[in-house]
Amino acid sequence: MEIKGRVIQLLPLQTGEGKNGAWRKQEFVIETDAQYPKKICISAWGDKINESLLQVGNEINVSFDLESREYNGRWYTDVKAWRMDAVSMGDVGGSAPATVENSPRSSGPPVFNPISEDLNSSSEADNLPF
């Protein structure tokens, strides 16, 4: 799974010693850029921690796994990051315009173009998108 958001909080770095050696865990909170923004706490373990990307205010794409486990009759869900990337400048400005057109000589199927003029419409007022 993948999600894009802005880092809004870094929780304290946790470290410890286990049977397999030393471990590090960094939890951080991102906020999605949607009509109804969501805040999601994600954890990164060991070499997946990228300090240069994990700065408050950075826009990042996070690839993650979801896993739930049961303990004493209650379920707990972990969101574990396995890859983080900076949002490219092309992703910041929104999506590309839907102006893909086929030429009359194209052998492919026709492509819907919501920006092109409706050929069946006689006036601008009748040109509705639905």
Q: Specify the CATH number for the domain of residue 27.
A: 2.40.50.140
Q: Please report whether residue 69 resides in a domain.
A: yes
Instruction: Quote the CA–CA distance of 24 and 32 in Å, as a whole number.
Output: 26
Q: Please report whether residue 55 resides in a domain.
A: yes
pLDDT tens for the 130 residues of the chain, in order: 999 999 999 999 999 998 989 999 999 999 999 999 999 999 999 989 988 889 999 999 999 999 999 999 999 999 999 999 998 765 544 444 333 344 444 444 555 455 544 455 455 556 666 5
* Phi/psi at 117 (5° precision): -70, 135
Q: Please report whether residue 125 resides in a domain.
A: no
Q: Please report whether residue 113 resides in a domain.
A: no
Q: Please report whether residue 62 resides in a domain.
A: yes
Q: What is the domain count for the chain?
A: 1
Q: What's the domain range around 82?
A: 2-88
Q: Please report whether residue 108 resides in a domain.
A: no
What pLDDT is attached to residue 128?
Answer: 62
What pLDDT is attached to residue 88?
Answer: 75
